[in-house]
Structure 1
Amino acid sequence: MRRKLYFKYIGILSFITAQAQTLTIDQSYQLAVENYPLIKQYELIEKSKEYTLSNANKAYLPQISLTAIEGYVFGDFPTLGSSGNDSKFKFIGLGQVNQTIWDGGATKTQKKIIEASSNADKASVEVSLYDLRSRVNQLYFGVLLIDEQLKQLQIQNAIIANNIDKVKKLHQNGLAYKTDVDEMKAEQLNLSRQKKDFEYTKAGYQTMLSYLIGKNISQEKFGKPFNSSSLDTIIKRPEQLLFASQRNLVNAQSEMQKVSLMPKVGLLGAGVVLAPGINLGTNKISTVGVAGVSVGWDIKGLYKNSNEKQLTQQNLKKIEVQEETFLFNTRFQMNQKTADIERQKAILKDDDEIVKLRQTIREGYQLKYDTGAGPLIDLLNATEKEGNARAEKALHEIQLLMAEYEYQTIKGN
């Protein structure tokens, strides 16, 4: 038997996914994403963005600062006339209120950066979640493959069981040897052993898939997907959205450099309280206040402006190279998978004819044995070869299906 061949491909393919009565592969994709812990990142990213935007919006609220000083004054405190109080201990209170009128676009730009950063984080999560599709493909088609192999074992077992009944009757009538009955039973036990191996392997795959999608699928029926006729070369992967989001973030951050070149305009109010106050003749001054428009302009941004522009361009070029590399590798994988699909199709063209021939050969040996013209070993060998041909055909069909779905996964749906 070619049991090792079956398990080799089963190990490569792995296993499937589940839902209700019949589970489809698309349902498996969805359940895997919903069950994956990383999905919670979406809500966390959105909440973080809301709080950060809220803080940015508060930039135009009045800014108040208060300072109180109680201490010993060294040296001569300014005074005119007699204060009537020569104490060196003074209380000084300072208060200032700033109301921003125009911050040079800093708040607007900061909000753009927050939005762009949030989108980039979400795109990164989307890339990680998309990787689940490959795991689902392996598990899903692995189970389908085992189911097909079990069907072929049932066909072989039915043939052997039918022959056992015939041989028993012949043996009872003295027309067959007891060793023929034993040979048939041994072959039947061999098929039973293979069936158990497949069933335990399938159960393991189902356990893995159940964990991946968060649903017990041990009793589920797996729907066989349709062959995908579309092999277009248009790439629609979440990584492309991630690259676009990263570019938007770099551009948004570069706008902050422009903001640093702008003056800042606001309203200013300030007050000073002194106790004991300064005596100016008959008038005692204990408070002083001032209000007006404040204008601030920090020109250090001018010195760095040229370098900052160059850094922005370099960062954009890095993202461009990363995207070009990703697209190159993706197209390379698509070409590999296209060649694999064509190979599987070519192989399948001969499988039907081989199965028909093996069935005809087995039926011929069956007739020879039934009429006493041929030995039992020839019939058993022919039955085994027919089973192998059917199993290989089923294997190639599932391999073709999986290759087509892997192609869709590589290029993105």
Structure 2
Amino acid sequence: MKNSYLLKCICLLGMITTVKAQTLTVEQSYQLAVENYPLIKQYELIEKTKEYTLSNANKAYLPQLSVTAIEGYVFGDFPSMGAGDESKFKFIGLAQINQTIWDGGATKTQKKIIEASSNLDKASVEVSLYDLRSRVNQLYFGILLIDEQLKQLEIQNTILANNIDKVKKLHENGLTYKTDVDEMKVEQLNLNRQKKDFQYTRNGYQTMLSYLIGKNINQAKLEKPLNKIAQDTVINRPEITRFTNQRNLITAQSDMQKVSLMPKVGLLGAGVVLAPGINLGPNKISTVGVAGLSVGWDIKGLYKNSNEKELTKQQLNQVNVQEETFLFNTRFQMNQKTADIERQTAILKDDEDIVKLRQTIREGYQLKYDTGAGPLIDLLNATQKEANARSDKALHEIQLLMSTYEYQTIKGN
């Protein structure tokens, strides 16, 4: 029973894998490209670095112990060490323990800086990963475009194949020349040559997209996405988050200047060991200890406080200018793409009518040729023009589709 259950699970997993392998959407391609890109590992490294750095910052309030041992020559007058002890070489031991009570907000501010720096690093990674969308768009819609062109070639090839059969029968009955058959075959060979060219180009695009997303898509069918004609102008790119995080980091770093103006308060314990000791009795080792409250205040931060505030203001202004420039360029690209979408939409409206008319014209020449009222060259020309019209329509459809997705990519969907 266990083996049977395991076999069913394996079969079900195989079915899921097969289904997934049959279709691929552009949104799935975006996600797979991000997951496959080596830079994605940077997220984990940034998070680990933040954890270790925060851990170190939290240890600032742990007791700090320092011990110093000196064996050296004592210069000058020194209290008597006892009868018969005239040696100037003494051992001196110093020990000090400090317990911070308040560090002026240094630890809290340092943790804010660490957090802000980590967020900025993550935002920078997000910006780099978002750039993958443009690469996916070029390859994904390039494959869709080639597939549409191949479909049109198949339609044209079907028309030619039917005509070749007709012309062969007419030739066998002595009603047409062999050159007509040859003309048809030449056109069919030209179609096959175009088909091979498209297929080799598609294979190249497919190989690059497979490498980009880390999945073999040789057996996958690329799903043609819906046309997102509706466009809004809200910019939601990851660069916006990066600019915000840059400001947060600058603000957090400026808080450290405020910390430098604050006094530091702590508990202090110190001890001194002298050997041989000072002659205060029978002991040969002297010890001295002290404990109390320590207060330290370094006022040099006051001298440059105003300059530091001005520097912070200028740094924030620089980020604001960078953000304004980015938004300006992004809106400019959005306007360009909107113009492309409007132009392509207008062109596409006429394509359907052109295809219908070209088909009607080709059918008319087909009838003329079949009844012997028109030459073969007219039929071939009409067939080629219909094929061109269909090809143009397919091209414009994919171009419009790609433009709408590029618009979404530019503004940050």
- Per the normalisation by structure 2, the TM-score is 0.94
Where do 1:154-233 residues align within 5 Å? 154-233=154-233
CA change 1:367–1:291 in 2 (3 A) is: same
**Residue aligning to 1:106:** 106
Pair 1:27-2:37 in alignment: no
CA change 1:66–1:160 in 2 (3 A) is: same
Pair 1:401-2:401 in alignment: yes
Provide the C-alpha distance between the structure 1 equivalents of 2:22 and 2:383, rounded to a whole number of angstroms.
35
Q: CA deviation digits over 1:183-224, x for unaligned, max 9?
A: 101110110010000001000000000000000001110100
Q: CA deviation digits over 1:68-87, x for unaligned, max 9?
A: 111222333x1148443111
Q: Secondary structure at the residue paired with 1:372?
A: coil
CA change 1:353–1:92 in 2 (3 A) is: same
Q: CA deviation digits over 1:62-106, x for unaligned, max 9?
A: 000111111222333x11484431112111111110000000000
**Residue aligning to 1:40:** 41
Q: Is the 8 A contact 2:276 2:285 kept in 1?
A: no
Q: CA deviation digits over 1:8-47, x for unaligned, max 9?
A: xxxxxxxxxx952110000000000000000001000000
**Residue aligning to 1:352:** 352
Q: Which amino acid aligns with 1:225?
A: P
Q: Which amino acid aligns with 1:211?
A: Y
CA change 1:83–1:136 in 2 (3 A) is: farther
Q: CA deviation digits over 1:240-281, x for unaligned, max 9?
A: 000000100000001000000000000011111111111136
Name whichever of 247-256 and 281-290 sits farther off.
281-290
**Residue aligning to 1:69:** 70
Q: CA deviation digits over 1:124-158, x for unaligned, max 9?
A: 10000000000001100000000000000000000
Pair 1:54-2:89 in alignment: no
Q: Please report how far the alpha carbon of residue 56 of structure 1 lies from its aligned counterpart in structure 2 after TM superposition.
A: 0.2
The number of aligned residues is 395
Q: CA deviation digits over 1:219-246, x for unaligned, max 9?
A: 1101001010321101111000000001
**Residue aligning to 1:275:** 275
CA change 1:380–1:83 in 2 (3 A) is: farther
Provide the C-alpha distance between the structure 2 equivalents of 1:283 and 1:46, rounded to a whole number of angstroms.
57
**Residue aligning to 1:330:** 330
**Residue aligning to 2:247:** 247
Q: Is the 8 A contact 1:279 1:285 kept in 2?
A: no
Q: Please report how far the alpha carbon of residue 285 of structure 1 lies from its aligned counterpart in structure 2 after TM superposition.
A: 5.6
Provide the C-alpha distance between the structure 1 equivalents of 2:172 and 2:325, rounded to a whole number of angstroms.
74
Q: Secondary structure at the residue paired with 1:233?
A: coil
Provide the C-alpha distance between the structure 2 equivalents of 1:383 and 1:156, rounded to a whole number of angstroms.
7
Provide the C-alpha distance between the structure 2 equivalents of 1:85 and 1:60, rounded to a whole number of angstroms.
44
Provide the C-alpha distance between the structure 2 equivalents of 1:282 and 1:183, rounded to a whole number of angstroms.
127
**Residue aligning to 2:259:** 259
Provide the C-alpha distance between the structure 2 equivalents of 1:283 and 1:173, rounded to a whole number of angstroms.
137
Q: Which amino acid aligns with 1:354?
A: I
CA change 1:81–1:366 in 2 (3 A) is: closer
Q: Is the 8 A contact 2:355 2:390 kept in 1?
A: yes
CA change 1:86–1:154 in 2 (3 A) is: same
**Residue aligning to 1:310:** 310
Q: Which amino acid aligns with 1:279?
A: N
Q: Secondary structure at the residue paired with 2:100?
A: strand
Name whichever of 282-291 and 236-245 sits farther off.
282-291
Q: Is the 8 A contact 1:100 1:267 kept in 2?
A: yes
Where do 1:124-135 residues align within 5 Å? 124-135=124-135
CA change 1:81–1:197 in 2 (3 A) is: closer
- Per the normalisation by structure 1, the TM-score is 0.94
Provide the C-alpha distance between the structure 2 equivalents of 1:53 and 1:348, rounded to a whole number of angstroms.
58
Pair 1:144-2:144 in alignment: yes
Provide the C-alpha distance between the structure 2 equivalents of 1:99 and 1:79, rounded to a whole number of angstroms.
33
Q: Secondary structure at the residue paired with 2:215?
A: coil
Q: What RMSD, in angstroms, separates the aligned Cα atoms of the two structures?
A: 1.3
Q: Secondary structure at the residue paired with 1:280?
A: coil
Structure 2: 5+ residue runs without aligned partners? 1-18
Provide the C-alpha distance between the structure 2 equivalents of 1:195 and 1:282, rounded to a whole number of angstroms.
109
Q: Is the 8 A contact 1:62 1:100 kept in 2?
A: yes
Provide the C-alpha distance between the structure 2 equivalents of 1:325 and 1:81, rounded to a whole number of angstroms.
77
Provide the C-alpha distance between the structure 1 equivalents of 2:28 and 2:282, rounded to a whole number of angstroms.
90
Provide the C-alpha distance between the structure 2 equivalents of 1:176 and 1:277, rounded to a whole number of angstroms.
131
CA change 1:275–1:162 in 2 (3 A) is: same
Q: Is the 8 A contact 2:33 2:132 kept in 1?
A: yes
Structure 1: 5+ residue runs without aligned partners? 1-17
Q: Is the 8 A contact 2:275 2:285 kept in 1?
A: no
Q: Secondary structure at the residue paired with 1:278?
A: coil
Q: CA deviation digits over 1:355-406, x for unaligned, max 9?
A: 0111011111111111111111111111000000000000000000000000
Provide the C-alpha distance between the structure 2 equivalents of 1:20 and 1:278, rounded to a whole number of angstroms.
88
Q: Secondary structure at the residue paired with 1:277?
A: coil
Q: Is the 8 A contact 2:277 2:283 kept in 1?
A: no
